[in-house]
Amino acid sequence: MLKGEKSAIPLLYLARVGDPTFHDEDAGLIKKQDASNHTLIPANYPLDSAAPLLCAGITVYASMVRHKMNQPGKSLGVIGLGGLGHMGVKFGKAFGLNVTIFSTSISKKEETLSQLGADNFVVSSDRNQMKALVKSVDFIIDIASGDHPFDPYAELLKLVEFWSYGMKTFSGSVTGGTKDIQEMIDFFASNGIHPMIEKFQFNLQMKLLRGY
């Protein structure tokens, strides 16, 4: 997040484009808020698709844009295919990247290639598959949830020329600011991209919550 940007935490207000005001429930009261400085959801973009973008979406998007992982024709490796991982594939393809998913589960191959449109699927425990990609990937985004060694993936990164040397860079990222969020939502809406979601009836969700 750049200096001067507002953080999306702890509260993010949303409004539909074209609607100058919206309602916010605060301490049991319904009041009107000025929506001019808040995140706007384009009228043609479903709210249920916008919801995951505000968490998993911005976590991945801000990282990729900040580190120039949006250069068409480059290659991207995505480690892990969960909520964040599938966002990585969606953004990667939208940016024009050649996307490879690294996963420990072969059962996710069908979903990765047919539903998400990834270009390649690699079982990370298969040494031959990993060896075939040594020094061939421009970017790798690691969003797997469990503990795992990164060294095998580091070997897959291309060396970036720096004077007469080659180097690889590593960095971490948390999330983005309000400017990033608006930019991301507009990008998804203008390109007709939607995250994969699963919807439940509200009464079923309440029953599940009461079970905890």
Are 188 and 157 in the same domain?
no
> Which residues share a beta bridge with 121?
101
179 located within any domain: yes
Residue 9, pLDDT above cutoff 50: no
Give the model's confidence band at 17: pLDDT under 50 very low, under 70 low, under 90 confident, else very high: low
Across residues 163-182, what is the average pLDDT? 75
pLDDT at 199: 78
- Quote the pLDDT of residue 86: 92
Hey, what amino acid is at 56? A
**How many structural domains comprise the chain?**
2
Does the structure show a pLDDT above 90 at 69? Answer: yes
What is the torsional sign of CA 95, 195, 62, 187? positive
Q: Using the predicted structure, report yes or no on whether residue 22 has a pLDDT greater than 50.
A: no
Could you tell me if 149 and 79 lie in one domain?
Answer: yes
128 and 50 belong to one structural domain: no
pTM across the whole model: 0.76
Pick the residue with more confidence: 22 or 74? 74
Note whether 82 and 121 are same-domain residues: yes
DSSP annotation of 45 reads S
- Give the DSSP per-residue string, 81-136: -SHHHHHHHHHHHHTT-EEEEEES-GGGHHIIIIIS--SEEEETT-HHHHHTTTT-
Q: H-type helices in 5-82, by residue range?
A: 47-52, 58-66
Q: What is the mean pLDDT of residues 98-112?
A: 90
pLDDT at 13 over 70: no
Mean per-residue pLDDT, 52-76:
92
Q: Are strands 139-142 and 120-123 parallel, antiparallel or unpaired?
A: unpaired
Q: Within a domain: residue 74?
A: yes
pLDDT of residue 15: 55
Q: Give the CATH number for residue 166.
A: 3.40.50.720
Residues 105, 165 within the same domain: yes
- Assess whether 90 and 134 both reside in one domain: yes
> Does residue 20 have a pLDDT over 70?
no
Residue 60 sits in the same domain as residue 27: yes
Residue 209 CB partners (closer than 8 Å, separation 6+): none
Judge whether 13 lies within some domain: yes
Q: 170, 188, 206: which is the final residue of a domain?
A: 170
C-alpha 83/C-alpha 13 separation (Å) is 23
Residue 212 falls inside a structural domain: no
Q: What pLDDT is stored for residue 27 in this prediction?
A: 40
Range of the domain at 39: 1-67+174-196
More confident residue, 153 or 40: 153
Query: Taking all residues of the chain, what is their mean pLDDT, rounded to a whole number?
Result: 80
Considering the domain architecture, whether residues 51 and 85 belong to the same structural domain is answered as no
pLDDT greater at residue 25 or residue 105:
105
